[in-house]
Amino acid sequence: MSNKAYIQLDGVTKKYSRGGEELVVLDALDLKVPEGDYVALMGPSGSGKTTILNLVGGLDIPDSGKVSVADTEVANMPKSQLPAWRARHVGFVFQSFNLLPVLTAHENVMLPLQLTPLSKSERKIQADFALEIVGLSDRASHRPSQLSGGQEQRVAIARAIATDPDVIIADEPTGDLDRNSADEILQILDRLNSEMGKTILMVTHDPAAAASARRLLKLDKGTLVSDQTREGA
């Protein structure tokens, strides 16, 4: 074993050029997240939160610095191998759910399982199980348009965990939800972390969501300005 943290960013810089002007989104950022941690990331809009999540999930690559997840150098991986790596190790949850509207809840959950070597019946069992975890077995055949926002987000979480990834990346998962639905989502994330040992990296503006994480990071203009671990966590 290396002495690296489970998720580790070393001197990560990410820039975008917009209209000839260079925008430094992340500036030599360092971050260590041990396995099984549950981290909430807060910060003003445009401070680079989503960019961090994308880098960890291998959807984006840094201009300089290293991103490693479970001993894998994500940024150095050939582009062609990133999707397969992502399918095995990372589950994404988005603010706007991002379910495919033409598929049922169950079919949405089945999507990432198509990329696994599991048999058809094994896939179905895992999809059923994932829906059971989020408490939506009875809505398996519903389309997203037939579900409430909270239910959609629960399906999205089921989809994110269907392949049993180590890391869950959630970008404002309660941002579009009412308080009750948001609390349900937070309870599910909490169970995924405490009972199933998932490492969770969650961006949020919601103080209640931040309070349910074990650790709270604050980001401003591409640099971490605060790192607190919750009492008793």
Partner 1 sequence: MAFPVRLALRHILASKTRNGLTVLAITIAVFLLCFLLAVVKGIDAGVRSASATRLVTQSAVSLFVSLPMSYQPKIDAVDGVVLSSEFRWFGGYYQDPSNFFPQFAVNQNRFLEMYEKDIEIIEGPDGITGPGARAAVQKALNSDRRAAIIGVGLKDEEKYSFKVGDTVPIVPAIYQRADGGSWEFIIVGIFRPLKERIPDKVMYFRSDYLNTSIESGEAIGEIAAGVYYINIDSGDIGDVVASTIDDEFLNGPQRTQTITEAAFASFFVSAIGNLPLFLGTIGGAVLFSIFFSVVNAMLIAGRQRLKESGILQALGFTPLTSTFLLIFEGLMVALIGGALGLSLAVGTEGLVQDLFGANIRNYKIDSNLMLLALATSSALGITAGLSAGIPFLGYRPTEALRSMG
Ligand X SMILES: Nc1ncnc2c1ncn2[C@@H]1O[C@H](COP(=O)(O)OP(=O)(O)O)[C@@H](O)[C@H]1O
- Token representation of residue 12: 């990560």
Interactions with partner 1, residue window 149-188 (CB under 8 A): 159, 163
Q: Provide, rounded to whole angstroms, the least separation between the CB of residue 28 and ligand X.
A: 16
Buried b (16+ CB within 10 A) or exposed e, 132-166: ebbebeebbebbbeebebbbbbbbbbbbbbbbebb
> Residue 3 to residues 6, 122, 123: CA-CA distances in angstroms?
9, 35, 35
Q: Provide, rounded to whole angstroms, the least separation between the CB of residue 185 and Mg ion.
A: 17
Say whether residue 41 binds ligand X (CB under 6 A): no
Question: Pattern 113-152, binding to partner 1, x per CB under 8 A?
Answer: -xx-------------------------------------
Buried b (16+ CB within 10 A) or exposed e, 36-71: ebbbbbbbeeebbbbbbbbbbbbbbbbeebbbbbbe
Residue whose pair of structure tokens reads 């807060």 in the numeric block: 42
Q: How far apart are CA 183 and CA 90, in angstroms?
A: 23
- For residue 114, give the 3-state DSSP assignment: coil
Residue 176 exposed, middle or buried by CB count within 10 Å (0-12, 13-18, 19+): middle
Residue 3 contact, options partner 1, Mg ion, ligand X, none, Cβ 5-8 Å cut-off depending on partner type: none
Interactions with partner 1, residue window 51-90 (CB under 8 A): 54, 57, 59-60, 80, 83-88
Q: Provide, rounded to whole angstroms, the least separation between the CB of residue 118 and ligand X.
A: 34
Residue whose pair of structure tokens reads 């896939």 in the numeric block: 123
Interactions with ligand X, residue window 43-102 (CB under 6 A): 43, 45-51
Say whether residue 92 binds partner 1 (CB under 8 A): yes
Nearer to Mg ion, 127 or 189 (CB): 189
Nearer to Mg ion, 52 or 136 (CB): 52
19: left (phi over 0), alpha (psi -120 to 50) or beta: left
Q: With contacts defined by CB under 8 A, how many residues of the chain interact with partner 1?
A: 26
Beta bridge partners, 223, equal 220
Nearer to Mg ion, 152 or 172 (CB): 172
Interactions with Mg ion, residue window 23-82 (CB under 5 A): 50
Residues that bind partner 1 (CB under 8 A): 54, 57, 59-60, 80, 83-88, 92, 94, 98, 100-103, 107, 110-112, 114-115, 159, 163
Residues that bind ligand X (CB under 6 A): 16, 18, 25, 43, 45-51
Residues that bind Mg ion (CB under 5 A): 50
